[in-house]
Chains A and B, each alone.
Chain A
Amino acid sequence: MAIVNEPPDDVLIDILSRVPAKSILRFKSVSKHWYFLVQNPSFVSLHRASARPFHCISLERTVDNNPWSMHLLPDQTSVHDLDLSFTPRLSKDFDHQGSCNGLVCLSLKSNIVICNPATREYRLLPQPPYCTWHTHYLGFAFDSETDDYRVVRFATPRETDDYRIDHRTHIYCMSADSWKELVVVARNHDFTGYHHHPCTSLDGVFYWLSSNAYPYGHTKIDAVNTVEGWFERRSLPASVCSHLQTNLCLLNDSLALVAPLYDNWLDTQFDVWLMDEYGVQECWTKKYTIGPILGSHRPFGFQPNNEVLMTGCDNGMIVSYNHGIGDIKVYKQLCNLPEVGFLRQVFQYSENLVSVKRRLD
């Protein structure tokens, strides 16, 4: 049964903000008025706010043709692949560099793509300056101050883990569709390092772990503040050893460091440290200890319910571990994906109708 009259716009917007993105794209064909309603930035924001958030993971696989992939975890018993096949030249060499607000950043050398799986749109970014240089770090983040998406690229003349080498930092802003150089003042150290983790961003600052030798070198935390323009290197908490399994991730809008307690391949124990406030000396607080859990596990990030996601001791197993109340440990298998080599990142994914295509003049 149909309704008697067309509902007022505020009610219509309320209803449509609850409809999945794919249906919205079809409903643009209802009328010109509907088309303009759902293109409106305020509708896009409202839709994003009401979209259901999913846990999402990116994986490196041990298969040849598709060495990395992204998966949504709608619940603890199923896995959905996030379809990125619409992106251009998506080859095995493309790498996942980060996700925020439902957008995904991919790169192959100096070719960088921002894509939106909800609308199947993508944008190949203009070549960054110094494009022949080695992309040392690439970060992707949303800047709520300017309501804009940013890519940060740190480039060095060649692939190296050498100290005190020349480097350039450039920022790409999606609204301006251009790169500009960021003059980064090294506050307390020269730029060095060898990365082995994707960047984690929080409030306009990109963080990553940096070691002076692969894989067990002396590990530090590097930070680049893209708003204030400084680069800084800080030590890990005093009791944390440099270790391949140390990982930096987000926990409840704080930067968290997950560090193995000691080398023991029979069971797993990790300390979780939270950074209270960046720039303050001794800013780490030990939150709690994960484990001991029988078997070797590698934690990679936290889900919104504070459960930690880990690759399991058996190939292909991903597990979540609930620190629990009153020390009750809940340990369950989240999914069993074939040939999982390496869990790269855990993040929140929710549909976003924002257009990443360039406006045609």
Chain B
Amino acid sequence: MASSIENNNEKLTLKSSDGEEFLVEKHVALQSTLLQNMLDSDCSSADVIPLPKIDARTLALVLGYCKKHADASSSKQGELNSFDSEFLKDMDMGALFNLVLAANFMEIKGLLDIAAQKIADTIKDKPHQEVREIFHVENDYTPEEEAAVREENRWAFEGFP
């Protein structure tokens, strides 16, 4: 059995959907439950782990988050909280969604929580027509049906188009 020091220095390679490879320290990768399970199930660290749904730009962000949280696990929570809010600041909706999808796939709960919460906070005061556009949802209501659904909770639409 390898010593723990050796293990800590181990690195593994992740490959994004667009073919870019990322060399990641094992303790950083362990922030992801998916990668943790793969390593536990005797997956050799020499292998390249393909992440076919995550592009290089998103993966770089995800790994930045993981590194900060892995290195700071013993440091102050306040510092991590301010890192988290700074991390998502000014991020557009497309990037946030990619982050949520990646965090969901790689099972990184902390990242999923903050990114999903950021999207929720952004959409909660928007009109439903705009939310429909943001989420690329096709409106399958007839005008009559949509009016009827709206009527069910008319009070919630006060001040909205």
Contacts and interface: CB of A to CB of B under 8 A. Distances in A.
Contacts of B1: none
Given A28-B149, A35-B149, A23 B134 contact: no
A305 B117 CA distance: 24
A23 B94 contact: no
B133 A2 contact: yes
Interface string A1-24: 111111110111011101110110
Given A27-B128, A28-B149, A19 B120 contact: yes
A3 B134 CA distance: 6
Given A7-B135, A26-B157, A27-B131, A32 B140 contact: yes
Nearest to A13: B116
Interface of B is mostly: helix
B97 A7 contact: yes
Given A1-B92, A33-B140, A23 B117 contact: no
Contacts of B135: 2-3, 6-7, 12, 30
B38 interface: no
Contacts of B120: 15-16, 18-19
Contact of B104 (A1, A10, A23): A10
A226 to B, nearest CB: 33
B153 to A, nearest CB: 4
The 8 A-B residue pairs with the shortest CB-CB distance, nearest first, are A18-B120, A25-B153, A25-B156, A3-B97, A1-B92, A23-B124, A29-B128, A19-B120
Interface of A: 1-8, 10-12, 14-16, 18-20, 22-23, 25-35, 86, 119-120
Given A15-B116, A26-B128, 17 more contacts: A1-B92, A1-B94, A4-B97, A6-B137, A7-B101, A8-B101, A11-B100, A14-B116, A18-B117, A23-B124, A26-B156, A26-B160, A28-B149, A30-B139, A32-B141, A120-B153, A120-B155
Interface of B: 92-94, 97, 100-101, 104, 112, 116-117, 119-121, 123-125, 127-128, 131-141, 145-146, 149-150, 152-153, 155-157, 160
